[in-house]
Structure 1
Amino acid sequence: MKIAFVSGLYPPAIIGGAEIVLQTLAEGVRDRGHEVLVLTTKEGGDIERDRVNGVSVIRVPIKNIYWHGSKAPRKLWKKMIWHAMDSVNLRMSSIARDILKEERPDAMNVHVIEGWSAGVLAVGKSLGIPTVQVLHSANFMCPNSNMCRNERNCETQCISCKVLRVAHRSISNNADAVVGVSQFVLDRHLSAGFFARAKRRVAIHNVRNLNFADIGPLPKDASAERKFVFGFIGGISPVKGVGVLIDEFQSLGETNAELWIAGRGQPQYEAELKSRCSTSRIRFLGYQKQADFFPHVDALIVPSLCQDTLPTVIPEAFGFGLPVIGARRGGIPEMIKDGCNGRLFEPENQGELRTIMTRFLQGEEDLDGMRCAVKESASDYSNIGGWVDKYVRLNADLIASRGE
């Protein structure tokens, strides 16, 4: 079986978790003895054929006003033009058609459509290639991918999203199967009328290439004077709820606890958050490696305001034996079993997170029991072989049923 994976970026070009997930999947499928090809984009020049960890990669110069893999800041008007051109990019579709006709894969799996545009699904359909769309975000519905504006979740598409995604609902019908990396993101698209003709609709949680069994929690200082540490790690932005977290922590008053915030954000926003802190018990650590951060934290907090599809920081924390306090947003409740491996809260309910933190500090939560449950949860997200097999079976089933 030969599978072509299509995505806007592929390592070493990385701007998010989707690129890492795709690399893990492509290499896993290859290790199962199947032929793998990755179609991705690059900045300018000619089409390049590359090999990354033994996987064949074709990098196509993007036909747009800039390459989205660059981290250079862009003005709003340039972003708007870029997304308008990316909505249905016929030039990229033409290149994809030529490559797929030459390579003749048995199936095509599309991951992140940015750079190729949704039109690549129609290309697969026209060539008779069984096609799977994997949803890592709400990108089919929203160019910003998160359906969130001014720190508020959009229940439906706003006007700009409707304009820039006017063709995506009908184009989505070219997919033979659709996979959501969370049940939430899959249901959101299906309920909005996307992928109505997909024969297979399934949620497959992402896994991480970490050996959780070997990591385990490092020994913590057992001193009675040791402070209880709540932690946050990730991008520092308004939609990630860091401001809510700071306010709720400070409302605890005097307590034997600290809040450690690891990650980076826009300098102006970071300065604003720091100015709101009235206690030295809140520490901004900047970028931290997980192995340097998690062993010194007692509980992770994921206070997202936006509908996060499936934050990988949660299973990563599970791998270090940490219970997680997470917002009832997106796919977060699919990973956190309330009262078992962590706690869930509604970020818009002022005081709810503070109450949970207080219970942790006063010993009203069974932290030892949670840590035992966390180990079981971690194993669910470390079974890369089982995860790869789900995608292999899905593609094999589509190929076998072609023409039915």
Structure 2
Amino acid sequence: MHTAHDREARRLDTLVELDILDTPRELAFDRLTSLCRKMFRVPMSTLTFIDGHRQWFKASDGLDLRETDRRPAPCNVTITLDEPLVVADMLRDARFADNMFVRGAPFVRFYAGAQLKLSGAVIGSLCAIDTRPRDDFGAEATSMLVDLAEIAVDELKLRNLSMQDALTGCSSRRAFRGEGERLTALATRHISPLSCAVLDVDHFKQVNDTYGHAVGDMVLGAVAAAARGALRGSDLIGRLGGEEFGILLPHTKLDQAMGVLEKVRAAVAATRIETPAGTIGVTCSLGGAMLSPGNCFDDMLRNADLAMYGAKQAGRNQALAWVDRAPSIAPTARRVFKAGTISFNAGHSTIDCTVRGLSRDTATIEVLSTSGIPDQFKLAIATDALSRACRITAKADNRIEVAFT
């Protein structure tokens, strides 16, 4: 008999394998939500995935959001069910009558969600949403919604075969990871140096909010082209997330890698992008790391990511190197993907989180927002039966690094 914790762990494992969260918008999925809106004559449709702390929209039509808190999301109920969830009037359903998304924006009154099922786990849902009650969504409409959800799952499977990011021409995240693991194995076998980097476009949300997503896409394309132009022939760049890129530098020690990354930083900063909104310039922050003995590709990439966050905290538009000064005191956290809960105020205040890194003494946590979280709190991971007191050692954007006390 599978417990709720077992099901949640399996669901998150499937999401990790799929590698879909925080990836850019893709036309195939945008078309599905657009079709869903038209077929069912609703003002909103989303393709939703749920991790440990949030619902994240791979595609959303009629809703200008990318993510929200997990707890009040109707999709959070849908993923616990075996059959589609159809609620004719949310105000007349005790589960949702006082829901913040019903009482407040986007004022959901009708909801229909079909599960996205993959490898025996429910990882999210395809939803049709209306701001008025609907009593005309019968068995046939529900069956059509299920068919669309299955098309979405088929598209997800096809997506994993893609080797190139359509917008920037860089390697896809999956292709980048595959090459990173291959180069790590080679570097380990031949005792040759390997470095990697994480590049993040500074203040990119501001670009999207000010000029719109079409201009944002032009900026990403220009940043990728500038970075490629500054890299060497043997280097590889891949798109890891919305405005985040990974760079692999084979046969390269860290000091050499930082010289290359400085060229990339300067090339991006010097780029002027002609857009319908005028000429735009952006900068980027980079973190570099070298493969250490005994480490795997994920360890190296995580260290580069931490260095990039350090560059952000130091003022952005710079490249910083990861230096592991005391490996025995601060062991590298293993990469995990677990649902967690932050609690404080003697347990009266709780916040959902996703644990992305874990060692004996530390954890890396993602939350919707770091504001309001005190410097010390308790972290619980139900699947590991773990509950530890923590103190924050670093935070940036939606990420927190903690040490167990």
TM-score range, shorter chain: under 0.3
Q: Give the TM-score of the pair, scaled to structure 1.
A: 0.27
Decide which structure has greater strand share.
Answer: 2
Q: Give the TM-score of the pair, scaled to structure 2.
A: 0.27
